């Protein structure tokens, strides 16, 4: 199976918003930590800062792949930030 990665950006605020939509062919998400502050991702639109998968300035990236986490990776993801920021992430999908 061939895959293709795409670098994406998202503008986050202190209110939860969609980071990605549902995508059945997604095989991985690579989330990078912010330069300053923090942000939290989760699969519920009600995600709140600190209550989900937390990415903190200075921490390592987080790889969510279908081989490890199953269909969780293909679902819609939401994010909320400690302060307004733009983040980058990589979405990998089957071709």
pTM: 0.94
Q: Would you say 10 and 79 are in contact if contact means Cβ atoms under 8 Å apart?
A: yes
The structure tokens 């998968």 sit at 53
41-52 pLDDT, tens digit per residue, is 999 999 999 999
User: What gap in Å lies between CA 73 and CA 49, rounded to an integer?
Assistant: 20
The answer, yes or no, to whether residue 1 has pLDDT greater than 90, is no
User: What gap in Å lies between CA 45 and CA 18, rounded to an integer?
Assistant: 7
pLDDT reported for residue 25: 98
The answer, yes or no, to whether residue 31 has pLDDT greater than 90, is yes
Q: Can you give the residue ranges of every domain in the chain?
A: 3-94
Fold classification of 3-94 (topology level):
Jelly Rolls (2.60.120)
Q: Would you say 64 and 31 are in contact if contact means Cβ atoms under 8 Å apart?
A: yes
The answer, yes or no, to whether residue 22 has pLDDT greater than 90, is yes
User: What gap in Å lies between CA 63 and CA 32, rounded to an integer?
Assistant: 9
pLDDT reported for residue 7: 98
pLDDT reported for residue 42: 97
């Amino acid at each position: 199976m061939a895959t293709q990665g795409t670098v994406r950006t998202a503008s986050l605020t202190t209110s939860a918003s969609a980071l990605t939509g549902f995508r059945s062919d997604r095989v991985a998400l690579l989330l990078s930590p912010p330069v300053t502050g923090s942000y939290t991702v989760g699969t519920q639109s009600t995600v709140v800062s600190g209550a989900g998968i937390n990415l903190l300035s200075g921490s390592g990236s987080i790889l969510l792949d279908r081989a490890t986490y199953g269909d969780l990776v293909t679902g819609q993801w939401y994010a909320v930030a400690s302060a307004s920021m733009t983040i980058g992430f990589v979405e990998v999908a089957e071709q």
